[in-house]
Chain A
Amino acid sequence: MEEILIELHVNKKIHTNNGNEVLDVTFKIPKYGLVTLFGKSGVGKTTLLRIIAGLTNPDHGLIKVGEEIWYDSTQKINIKPQFRDIGFVFQDYALFPNMTVKEHLLYASREKETRYIAELLDVFHLRGLCNRKPERLSGGQQQRLAVARALARKPQILLLDEPLSALDSETREILQHEIILAHTNFQATTLLVSHDIEEVYRLSDFVYVIEKGKIQKQGKPGEVFTRSSIVENFK
């Protein structure tokens, strides 16, 4: 039986396009898993990632990672984002305009391990761009830097918020491959938010489908996305 890393049960009132809704979600994520939260935009997927990261507080609930409790409303435990062992890739990448590629990685790494930083630069094809600032990187390079930066502190959990949505299909395909490689190489339990079925198929081994604030379906992508649900999605 696979070891569970993240156990989450949270409840939060959110504002969606259809008015106020209660996000009431329970899920478990296995260690080293590559799991996707799937759903239309505005259903609260990003809010869930932010709740795991500690950037947004749920109204109540419990988040347990391994043996540690990160959030528990009954015991009033709420670990600050700084002390949660995560890497977060933001939808807009959130790169620091004042730092070069290398400075980003040095800033992010816990100890200034030059060998590990060199490895990240190689894996994400950033070596030749070391001294460039984000403004001089292409969309794909910025995305690579965002993932490399998130991995630089060797997090236990990698959270990716629609990391490929702003890219053209060709770059997206290359980077999907790189995300899988990074997941295998760096062994971070990965939770990805996406509204793109193809991406879910390529990237994840398990998917939770969120609709109307709740998890409506879960399973392997092949089981969850039947032909009819795919057609429904493209309607």
Chain B
Amino acid sequence: MDEIFLQTFWISIKLASLTTIVLFFTGIPIAYFLTYSSLRSKVILQALVSMPLVLPPSVLGFYLLLAFSPNYWPGHFLNHYFGLRLAFSFTGILIGSIIFNLPFMVNSIQTGFSNLPASLKDASYTLGKSRGTTIFRVLLPNIKPALLTGVCLTFAHTIGEFGVILMIGGNIPGKTRVAALAVYDEVQALNFGIANKYAIFLFIFSFVVLLFIYSVNREYLKWKKF
């Protein structure tokens, strides 16, 4: 029993960690583009990034399931050329998680960039610094709270993810069954004690993550604004 419990949490944590790492590195350039680009068409990307906030997870899960299926061209392409079958696999739920959590990472970092005075970037440029140097030496170090919020929210939200993973992961123990699904499963099987064990752990975990974000950001907010 304990082994299954630990294994389920391990899958949850592995999924959340990988989702967060991938989104951290892809979220920064997307957020930078959305903040600083003067292209009008960027609103389309903005809307797409935020879609998972309003779209029912089952809808996203449904389309991903279709996309992963060898009967349709993306799934067929992956299966035929790379031997990848993503439906009901860990990689599949990882891709679903990455798409579903995109707004939590991107919107947090974008808020950080937007709150910085525009003159910081300009000042660095007039000092002869390239865009890359400006991003790494000036912009990112000054939005640490936003980066931290993005990382923590993405991680915590992935831990609590249910709909997308159920749709494309199929709830396979030891493979795609995460803690949030286990609660549902155990309740269905009338194992309220075990369900409670999962639930209380998720409850405390979520609370601790939010507590951490708010207390760290409170310290940063004491910074004088320039």
Contact = CB atoms under 8 A, between A and B. Distances in A.
B127 to A, nearest CB: 5
A134 B226 contact: yes
A97 interface: yes
A93 B226 contact: yes
Interface stretch (B2-10, B56-64, B114-122): B114-122
Contacts, number: 66
B138 A96 contact: yes
Contacts of B125: 54-55, 80-82
A204 B226 CA distance: 28
B126 A55 contact: yes
Chain B interface secondary structure, helix, strand, loop or mixed? helix
Given A94-B120, A96-B138, A108 B226 contact: no
B226 A94 contact: yes
Contact of A82 (B117, B129, B223, B226): B129
A87 interface: yes
Interface residues of A, number: 29
Given A98-B141, A98-B142, A87 B226 contact: no
30 contacts: A54-B125, A55-B122, A55-B125, A81-B122, A81-B125, A82-B129, A82-B130, A86-B126, A88-B122, A88-B123, A88-B126, A92-B117, A92-B226, A94-B117, A94-B120, A94-B122, A95-B123, A96-B120, A96-B124, A96-B141, A97-B223, A97-B226, A98-B138, A98-B141, A107-B127, A107-B129, A108-B127, A135-B226, A149-B123, A153-B127
Given A87-B126, A97-B224, A150-B126, 17 more contacts: A55-B122, A80-B125, A82-B125, A82-B130, A83-B128, A88-B122, A90-B119, A94-B117, A94-B226, A96-B138, A98-B138, A107-B127, A108-B127, A134-B226, A149-B127, A153-B127, A153-B128
